A and B are shown apart, each in its own frame.
Chain A
Amino acid sequence: MTDTPSAGTAAVAPGLLPTAAGSSGRPGRANRPGRANRPGRANRAGRANRAGKKKLGVFFWICSGWIGLIVLVAIFANVLPLPKPDFENFAAPQNGAPAWGHLLGTDDLNRDIFSRLLFGSRVSLVVGFGSTAIGLILGGIPAMFSAYRRGRVDTFLNTTSYAVLAFPALVAVIAIGSFWGHQLWKITLVIGIFSAPVIFRVIRAATLSYASRDFVMAAKALGASDRRILGREILPNILPTIISFGLIAVATVIVLEGTLAFLGLSVPPPTPSWGNMLNEGSSLLSGGPGQNNPWLVIFPATAMFTLLFSLNVVADKLRSYFDVTEVKL
């Protein structure tokens, strides 16, 4: 009983006309709310136009695509048709240049650099995102409560964060690692703990700037609990800061892990990481004949550079995209 047959019957049987008119009237009525919806659509279009002035840009999408690709590859490295990263394939050339069998060449132990590079990304990503997540939990959540409630606890945490910041994180991580061990989770946890004070300071400052706003007072006067005010009123406002600063923190931590690995103080070999590949490769840069392999330095360095660059670009573009002061409210 759709409209098309009723329109047809209307022409054939005059007796059916009223019903036909009724049924054809209904779509008409349905159209009117449709028209009323149009301002809504125009609004959406308007929002799109406004966003058009402030686009994230192609570059942002290229960079976030690159980060996404690295994350995907790191997750599915096992499934990909790759030789094992620590497989010393004596059929392959030693210190080979990029070739079809070994896309990025081989190292001095005849291992496939491409495979090692992909598996090595896991270390960087786990430490980078893991430590930042730990830092956000250990630093960010206390920061919000501290900034909102103020008082002695705030003074105490504030001073503590300065004290921890005053201690060079790299030295601390090296010292702790040297007696505790260099497993991935330990490195992640230690770096996470030492990134907490910086994150604490940033989130505390962001929360402070919102904690005394009228809408927070208004929410309080409506009987909202502190947790609710922090979660529902303040958090959405500082989320852009958290995201963009978090990404920068990820980049910083990846560099820190790279430094440790380069010094041989991160995940022990044969587990590949970009840092220890660089370490191995650096000794092959000025070696004698047959001991010269620039590829072992070029590829991990490029991978790390592009990842860090992308993280910074994404963070910066997001920051300016969410920056309300640039848009007139």
Chain B
Amino acid sequence: MTTTPPAAPAAPLLAVEDLKVSFATPQGELRAVQGVSLTLERGKTLGIVGESGSGKTVLSRAIMGLLPRERATQTGSVRYQGQEILNASHKELRGLWGTEIAMVFQDPMTSLNPVQRIGHQITESLKLHLKLDRAEAKETALSLLMQVGIPSPVERFNAYPNQLSGGMRQRVIIAIALACAPRLLMADEPTTGLDVTVQAQILDLLGTLQRDRQMGMVLVTHDLGVVATRTDDIIVMYAGNVVERAPTDVLFSQMAMPYTEALLRSIPRISNPSHTRLRAIEGRPPDLISPPPGCPFAPRCPYAQDTCHHEKPPLVEGSAPGHSYACWFPLAAPGMAASTSGTESA
């Protein structure tokens, strides 16, 4: 409802600067996100990748402003089209939620209200935000259901969530998120709990809708395979830190961070012979209440050396534009071998 003041034309759709989120727990301060910066232009897709507990969901909820204020301390800056929205009042955020920024949640099984019909759940925000009357809202909802690829939308309109399959539900959730034509879509692991073929369909659907509507999209996932072909930029997160950031093609060709490599290795490959052991990453992510002093990945890193355990590596620029990583001994990529050996001798 509140129209965002047209900021400087250069203002990106979403700009996050040094965002830190911590939770007060009885054991101490849990630092879930430790200084993340990112920008997203309109019509682009940003992938945020990391394993469970790396802070990606907290990051996406912090950007949305959905974290409970009384428990989460958030510092830094989140600008939506130049407007500061971090720690903005709920009233202010409510004007953005749904119409400007929308979110697709992790679990399609629990993200729909079990006692309300699909149609009602879609039309609700149309009536609330766009002030459509019942007939208009229904028409719009049916066309949305059609766009997200739900067969016989007229019948599904009156169905309850439990009458739909997981894939169908996630389509409905996407339809709800897109109802008011947001400019920024946050998709938090939109395909968790869906089988692989449906996963691909949902991701393709999101990609298509994002291109058609020129939305900015943040795709949060633990699966590098998911973001490989569907994003413009990728951020790899580990223990609340950005450990590598690059345009998608650069990331896959000049991977510098051992963690990124380990993530990629832990994806099963169809070309492998059967019974190949999956190369899981040994160990567990570090404790976020008292993180180790050095590189957070050092205890699990096969290349870790003394420096790694004592000093935290800063995020440094790589050779390719837009590529940066936080690693003392980046993987030897062509063209970077010299700098790597230089660091090692130092």
Contact = CB atoms under 8 A, between A and B. Distances in A.
Interface of A: 39-40, 43, 150-151, 213-215, 217-225, 228, 232-233, 236-237, 324, 329
Q: Considering residues A40, A215, A228, which has the most beta carbons from chain B within 10 angstroms of its beta carbon?
A: A215
A329 B64 contact: no
Interface in B64-115: 64, 66, 70, 94-99, 102-103, 105-107, 109-115
A233 B113 contact: yes
27 contacts: A213-B110, A214-B106, A215-B111, A215-B113, A217-B111, A218-B176, A220-B66, A220-B97, A221-B97, A221-B105, A222-B97, A222-B124, A222-B179, A223-B95, A223-B125, A223-B128, A224-B94, A224-B98, A224-B124, A224-B125, A224-B128, A228-B128, A232-B116, A233-B113, A236-B113, A236-B116, A237-B113
Given A215-B110, A223-B94, A236 B125 contact: no
B305 to A, nearest CB: 43
Given A214-B106, A232-B124, A236-B116, A223 B111 contact: no
A40 B114 contact: no
A218 B129 contact: no
Contacts of B102: 221-222
Contacts of A232: 116, 124
Contact of A222 (B107, B162, B176): B176
A301 B28 CA distance: 62
Contacts of A217: 66, 105, 111
Contacts of B128: 223-224, 228
Given A213-B110, A214-B105, 17 more contacts: A40-B155, A214-B106, A214-B111, A215-B110, A215-B114, A218-B112, A218-B173, A221-B66, A222-B97, A222-B102, A222-B124, A222-B177, A232-B124, A236-B115, A237-B115, A324-B114, A329-B162
B115 A223 contact: no
Interface string B165-194: 000000001001101100000000000000
Contacts, number: 74
A215 B99 contact: no
Interface size class of B (residues with CB under 8 A): 20 to 34
B114 A237 contact: yes
Q: Considering residues A43, A214, A217, A233, which has the most beta carbons from chain B within 10 angstroms of its beta carbon?
A: A214
Shortest 5 CB-CB contacts between residues of A and residues of B: A223-B98, A223-B97, A222-B98, A214-B110, A214-B111
A6 B162 CA distance: 48
A150 B68 CA distance: 10
A39 B152 CA distance: 11
Given A233-B113, A237-B115, A329-B162, A222 B105 contact: no
A106 to B, nearest CB: 52
Contacts of B97: 220-223
B141 to A, nearest CB: 14
A215 B116 CA distance: 11
A62 B66 CA distance: 49
Interface string B272-285: 00000000000000
Contacts of A39: 155
Q: Considering residues A221, A224, A233, A236, which has the most beta carbons from chain B within 10 angstroms of its beta carbon?
A: A221
A223 B129 contact: yes
Contacts of B129: 223
Contacts of B94: 223-225
A151 B176 CA distance: 30
B95 to A, nearest CB: 7
B104 to A, nearest CB: 9
B105 A218 contact: yes
A222 B97 CA distance: 5
Q: Considering residues B97, B106, B112, B113, which has the most beta carbons from chain A within 10 angstroms of its beta carbon?
A: B113
A252 to B, nearest CB: 27
B179 to A, nearest CB: 8
Contacts of B64: 221
A266 B173 CA distance: 55
B208 to A, nearest CB: 22
A312 B306 CA distance: 72
A43 B156 CA distance: 11
A15 B166 CA distance: 57
A155 to B, nearest CB: 12
Contacts of A221: 64, 66, 97-98, 102-103, 105
Interface string B313-329: 00000000000000000
Given A224-B128, A329-B162, A218 B116 contact: no
Nearest to A239: B115
Nearest to B91: A225
A237 B94 CA distance: 23
A222 B66 CA distance: 11
Interface in B107-143: 107, 109-116, 124-125, 128-129
Contacts of B70: 150-151
A43 B155 CA distance: 10
Contact of A215 (B106, B112, B155, B177): B112
Nearest to B162: A329
Nearest to B116: A236
B110 to A, nearest CB: 4
A199 B102 CA distance: 36
Contacts of A225: 94
Contact of A214 (B107, B124, B162): B107
Contacts of B66: 217, 220-221
B311 to A, nearest CB: 39
A221 B179 CA distance: 13
B112 to A, nearest CB: 6
Nearest to B186: A221
A51 to B, nearest CB: 13
Given A223-B128, A225-B94, A228-B128, A218 B103 contact: yes
A177 to B, nearest CB: 41
A39 B115 CA distance: 22
